[in-house]
Amino acid sequence: MACNLDHSAEDTQKKLEAQKSFLPEDLFEKSELFLKGTPSQVELNELFHLLKKYDLASEEEKKVRNQQMRELL
């Protein structure tokens, strides 16, 4: 998931809100708390890309992303 763009906390929060109905509730809540803290730029970028097009991901891909989010959060 390499990307040369740095994503702001605000952009990441917007992406989280856009994917809210597709995410497990616990991951949404943990992500919100995470963003209220002081995540590093690397962490923001990682979370943004895990959320990006989450709704279009296969069930297998969602399981992988969910696990990666749990490790990050």
Closest of 34, 37, 61 to residue 22, by C-alpha:
61
pLDDT for residue 1 is more than 70 = no
Asked whether residue 8 carries a pLDDT value surpassing 90, the answer given is yes
pTM equals: 0.92
Which tokens belong to 73? 């959060």
Tokens of residue 11, six digits: 């952009």
- Quick one: angle between helices 41-51 and 25-36, nearest 10? 150
DSSP state of 6: P
pLDDT tens digits, one per residue of 16-73: 999 999 999 999 999 999 999 999 999 999 999 999 999 999 999 999 999 999 999 9
